[in-house]
Structure formats: C-alpha cells, structure tokens
Amino acid sequence: MFASIVTISLAAILTNNFIFSQFLGICPFLGVSNKMSTATGMSVAVIFVMTMASAICWVINEFLLIPFGVAGFMQTVAYILVIAVLVQFVEMFLKKAIPALYSAMGIFLPLITTNCAVLGVVLLNTQNNYNFLESVIDGFTGGVGFTVAIVLFASVRERLQFADYPKAFEGFAICLVTAALFALAFMGFSGMKIPV
C-alpha cells in the first residue's frame, strides 16, 4: 500500500509530470505563467480542484455509474459535469466564506473547468483502476506536479523578457521552446521508481 502510494506520487510529480511528459494542462500553463504570483494562485486552485475531483468522481463512478451499467458511455459526461459543478461550487463557497482567498485565486477558478489536467487525472484514475485512496493521492500529487512545473517555468519566464530572441518568436513560441528544454530535463527522471 505504502509503496504504491509513493510510486504514484513520484510518477505524478516527476517521472510522468502532467505538463512536461503527458501534455495535460498546457493552456493554463502557458496562460498564467507570465508572473510568479498568478502562477502560484493558479497552482493552489488546481491542486484543490484536482484532489476534490478525483475523490468525487471515484465515488460517482463506483456507486452510480458502475451499478447502473452506464460507466462505458456516461463516464466522460458525468466527470466533466462534476468538475464544472465543483468549480462553480468552490467559487461560490470561497466568495462567501474566505473572501481574501477568493480575491487571490477567484479569477483562475472558471479557467480550471477547461484545464485538461483535471479531466485527465480523473479519466486516468479510472483507466488505471485506482482505489479511492490512490485516486485522491494521484489527484493531489498531480496538482503538485503541475505546481512544480508552473512555478519553475514562471521563474524562467520572468527572465525571458530580458532575453534577446528573434522577433518572430514573441509570445507563446519562445515559451514553447523553453518548455521543450524543461521537458528534456524532466526526461532525466524517467524510470525512477521504488523497487518493490
């Protein structure tokens, strides 16, 4: 049990990092990584939603979709609805309960619905037959992996504005080239695992 949890965490954060090796969540990754403060705000929101979505979708799949025999074709629809509702709910809750946190991460919340890392993690959880605990751990550490990637990248991107690159590479193009170098570096983690 412990070994599987460590393996999942290691994979989600380093070896199978959602951004640099699975290409999930690239849009928000490029969209909000231009400033360190927005990057951290987005990360907190993503960790939260990914963990919650993993937990709720597991319960829905296990106790609603599978017993009714509709798991094969209603999974995607059900999961995306759960995520959309969850995001909406979190937004409303934060607005009322913790206004300070809401003003810090409020604007990122609606964006998370279309973050493919969130739907990706719940679909992969189901595909890999993870149990409840494994799903939650995968969701949480997946979010941590997203944070690691986006924070590292934001710190590089802040310096990128002083770099002297060809004008045609302005905007996302130079970011993608930079991300390519990150992906290459993250390749170095591949194969790292806990001997069982």
Q: Name, in order, each residue with C-beta under 8 angstroms of 139's C-beta and a sequence gap of 6 or more.
A: 50, 51, 52, 53, 54, 55, 121, 122, 125
**Span interacting with another protein, options 49-57, 95-103, 146-154, 177-185, rule CB under 8 A:** 177-185
Question: What does the alpha-carbon distance between residue 58 and residue 52 come to, in Å, rounded to a whole number?
Answer: 10
Interactions with another protein, residue window 86-125 (CB under 8 A): 113-116, 118-120, 123-124
Question: What does the alpha-carbon distance between residue 60 and residue 38 come to, in Å, rounded to a whole number?
Answer: 32
Residue 192 — φ and ψ, nearest 5°?
Answer: -70, 125
Q: Is 179 a binder of another protein (CB under 8 A)?
A: yes
Q: Is 65 a binder of another protein (CB under 8 A)?
A: no
Residue number with CB closer to another protein (35 or 193):
193
Q: Which of residues 13, 20, 65, 149 is near another protein by CB under 8 A?
A: 20
Q: Is 7 a binder of another protein (CB under 8 A)?
A: yes
Q: Which of residues 9, 21, 51, 141 is near another protein by CB under 8 A?
A: 21
Q: Name, in order, each residue with C-beta under 8 angstroms of 45's C-beta and a sequence gap of 6 or more.
A: 105, 108, 109, 112
Total number of residues that touch another protein (CB under 8 A) = 56
Q: 135, 126, 146, 124: which is closest to 13 by C-alpha? A: 146
Question: What does the alpha-carbon distance between residue 188 and residue 194 come to, in Å, rounded to a whole number?
Answer: 16
Q: Is 63 a binder of another protein (CB under 8 A)?
A: no
Q: Which residues bind another protein (CB under 8 A)?
A: 7, 15-16, 20-27, 30, 70, 72-77, 80-81, 84-85, 113-116, 118-120, 123-124, 127-128, 166-177, 179-181, 183-184, 186-187, 190-191, 193
